[in-house]
Structure 1
């Protein structure tokens, strides 16, 4: 886990020469999670602590959310980290200014070219589109698209999945959005030339995407965070690594270290040796915290692999004790480790605590997470007849048909947590 920057500054105050910033961060540790990739493209819908340090050292975990910024500021911050030419940077800034709060590009590229005509000579469509594609690689995934179809296509590609399920989903969003809007299943089956099972799988994948990628960032009180961990997929499986940009770059000044070592036995030098030892401990502590965060994050990804493949509907029930047992730490430590610590994934930047949820029973005798139940609940309500919305009792029955034992009062609680009104308020007369 990483110490907050003001604590690092305070630690250096007693002897500013003992600790100095270096360009070498804590080494990133990359751990590939073993996964059976033979089934990658199938979406099935249907303790005492052993370390010497005290828990107290985790009490100062912090929220590193940046100050309130706009979506444009968020995008420009990322663009500043990219190796763009001065010409491309100017194009990018105009494009960003044309992205609305939902994350879509409001202007045609021809309008962008016209706006830049006086500043840039010989500006062509392909050049502007190339810069736009660079913007579309930024966070949040799907940003800068020229329509919902392009945005969903970008998000599907970012998942890094292959197979017939993804091909059907791509075909649907690129060519048959009108049928999807009408909820015309017969028309979709005919257009995609697939059966109900394959259509449901493609629809489930699409439901895991964000139709308005900019809306979650732009709000009356926006909050931005720097992810502590990055999750990506390679040929060997899911990989979790530390975000080097979030790590403090702190080390021992070698020149002063050698000076203190070769000094005499005076009281002053003894004091400096004490400060040097504290500096060493501090650097070691920072590295230990980062390694602990990586270990916890890796365990979470191992437990929730299905989530990364299929989305929230596949979230497994998981509590703090599950991870605490695996890493041999106390639950309170895991709670502090995962609070206000974030993981950047193909499905968005998520707080580590997001992956923990309560559970409900299933007909098979197993358990399902409340996150997955909420996702099923959202799906059922989104597909209901607006003139005859589903009651909580009916929703409970329908979830039971899917194998989930959820009481009516629990349905009401989950619905309220999702910000969904009751059936009488959802009813549309016309």
Structure 2
């Protein structure tokens, strides 16, 4: 093979580490940003928390001078709460830090934590308290019960065979065999397994250890006081007419039970108050705390948008260390300080850019969704990433990053910024209606329907058509399922 030298002329795009840092900070959630800031404080001696300065209060806010639209300045007061970062101007770093990028595959927005963390470091979730499982909860009750060694072994085998909803998933013969294998020198019979099962069925939560739905609900009814109104009638329906109850055949139930209509409806209401999945209550108490990144409030007939000052501490350059840097000195100590000073400045600029971009996007969203803030979800307007990107002068990928895992506190609750984006359908007047508004309308119609004659998907589509919203039946079914609303046949009630 002949070896030769060739000269090629080409172009390629290179992202600087500073731009990559800005993009990474832009897509971090509040908790991840706090971890990133703490990591920067731990690794860079030139960065410190400004303990003396405080964020300005909402009443001290002034209109955002960075807005390029006069109408927005008239309608909104914006405040960059975390924007006054102390940055030394004697630097060759550009004043304007670009944060826009068209490359979506640089970072994975679903990844959590900072890239600067070591692999062995525990994340936030790892440091959280581990929730008690159903197995642990029942085993704790077993240890409090005066069981013999044999009965305790059977109880542990039974608990181990329960599913996440608290139902027994194996036959009692298999439990007997498992206990016999653990205690081969002890003679165990099936009646002893049944006795231990009945004891476990008295544990909390009520209904645990049942082998089917009928037994689960019967256990819960039997644990109610005997004086509970309509308790015996509810037990009769469960034990003898569960199939008629499932099919909601009121006429047949009245004929079979000989109850009056009032007695039947009261007994059915008592059954409906029971929990068909008793084990699901255990281990589901994890608290997911959300810290809003943006706070929206209405003051003096104006909607005001500001960053939450509690999302991140206020940082500054350590003046004492910065004063030690000498330009002409190439010693190791001076090089160390100079490099960390430059990193600190870039970090502050990236953080400042994140705040400005987040505030700009949040303000644009509020401007478009004023009707939602004032009237509710039914007034939500159709909005897509492209609309906001064009208005604020950013790329769609940047808007996608800044709205991912960021939350807005409004008078109507806390919502992820992505909640305000939705597709649209046409109306008879030629306008548009957002899918979020249609979902809210469906939910409202279902909540107001007659439980005995629930609205079908076709009927809901007809009612929306009367309001000028043209939605197909299949679309109604899709939206209904996304709201976890059962079909009309499953929503039908005797009450």
Deviation at 1:407, TM superposition (A): 0.4
Q: Is residue 2:362 matched to residue 1:334? A: no
Asked if 1 retains the 8 angstrom alpha-carbon contact of 2:298 and 2:304, the reply is: yes
Residue number among 38, 43, 63 corresponding to 1:9 in the alignment: 38
Cα pair distance change 1:274/1:329, threshold 3 Å: same
Deviation at 1:13, TM superposition (A): 4.5
Give the greater-gyration-radius structure (CA): 2
Residue number among 304, 326, 338 corresponding to 1:239 in the alignment: 304
TM-score (norm 2): 0.49
Structure 2 residue runs without a partner (length 5+):
1-25, 65-71, 77-95, 114-122, 132-282
Q: Deviations over 1:61-85 (max 9, x none)?
A: 8699985799xxxxxxxxxxxxxxx
Cα pair distance change 1:345/1:278, threshold 3 Å: same
Q: Deviations over 1:93-123 (max 9, x none)?
A: xxxxxxxxxxxxxxxxxxxxxxxxxxxxxxx
Question: Distance between the aligned counterparts of 2:365 and 2:476, measured in 1?
Answer: 27
Question: Distance between the aligned counterparts of 1:394 and 1:54, measured in 2?
Answer: 47
Q: Is residue 2:86 matched to residue 1:21? A: no
Deviation at 1:12, TM superposition (A): 3.9
Asked if 1 retains the 8 angstrom alpha-carbon contact of 2:48 and 2:317, the reply is: yes
Question: Distance between the aligned counterparts of 1:58 and 1:259, measured in 2?
Answer: 39
Question: Distance between the aligned counterparts of 1:221 and 1:428, measured in 2?
Answer: 33
Residue in 2 that maps onto 1:183: none
Asked if 2 retains the 8 angstrom alpha-carbon contact of 1:30 and 1:240, the reply is: no
Question: Distance between the aligned counterparts of 1:404 and 1:356, measured in 2?
Answer: 19
Cα pair distance change 1:417/1:31, threshold 3 Å: farther
Q: Is residue 2:322 matched to residue 1:293? A: no
Question: Distance between the aligned counterparts of 2:413 and 2:129, measured in 1?
Answer: 19
Question: Distance between the aligned counterparts of 2:494 and 2:314, measured in 1?
Answer: 61
Question: Distance between the aligned counterparts of 1:356 and 1:65, measured in 2?
Answer: 29
Question: Distance between the aligned counterparts of 2:110 and 2:341, measured in 1?
Answer: 23
Residue in 1 that maps onto 2:204: none
The correspondence of residues 184-333 of structure 1 with structure 2, limited to 5 A, is 220-261=285-326, 264-333=329-398
Question: Distance between the aligned counterparts of 2:479 and 2:313, measured in 1?
Answer: 40
Deviation at 1:270, TM superposition (A): 2.6
Deviation at 1:326, TM superposition (A): 1.1
Question: Distance between the aligned counterparts of 1:256 and 1:58, measured in 2?
Answer: 36
Residue in 2 that maps onto 1:52: 98
Question: Distance between the aligned counterparts of 1:394 and 1:253, measured in 2?
Answer: 67
TM-score (norm 1): 0.57
Residue in 2 that maps onto 1:379: 444
Question: Distance between the aligned counterparts of 1:243 and 1:423, measured in 2?
Answer: 43
Q: Is residue 2:424 matched to residue 1:359? A: yes
**Structure 1 stretch 52-61 or stretch 403-412: which is displaced more?**
52-61
Asked if 1 retains the 8 angstrom alpha-carbon contact of 2:433 and 2:469, the reply is: yes
Deviation at 1:284, TM superposition (A): 1.3
Residue number among 387, 394, 411 corresponding to 2:476 in the alignment: 411
Deviation at 1:261, TM superposition (A): 4.1
Question: Distance between the aligned counterparts of 1:300 and 1:65, measured in 2?
Answer: 30
Question: Distance between the aligned counterparts of 1:407 and 1:68, measured in 2?
Answer: 47
Asked if 2 retains the 8 angstrom alpha-carbon contact of 1:26 and 1:247, the reply is: no
Cα pair distance change 1:428/1:236, threshold 3 Å: closer
Asked if 2 retains the 8 angstrom alpha-carbon contact of 1:315 and 1:372, the reply is: yes
Deviation at 1:51, TM superposition (A): 6.3
Deviation at 1:30, TM superposition (A): 5.3
Question: Distance between the aligned counterparts of 2:55 and 2:111, measured in 1?
Answer: 18
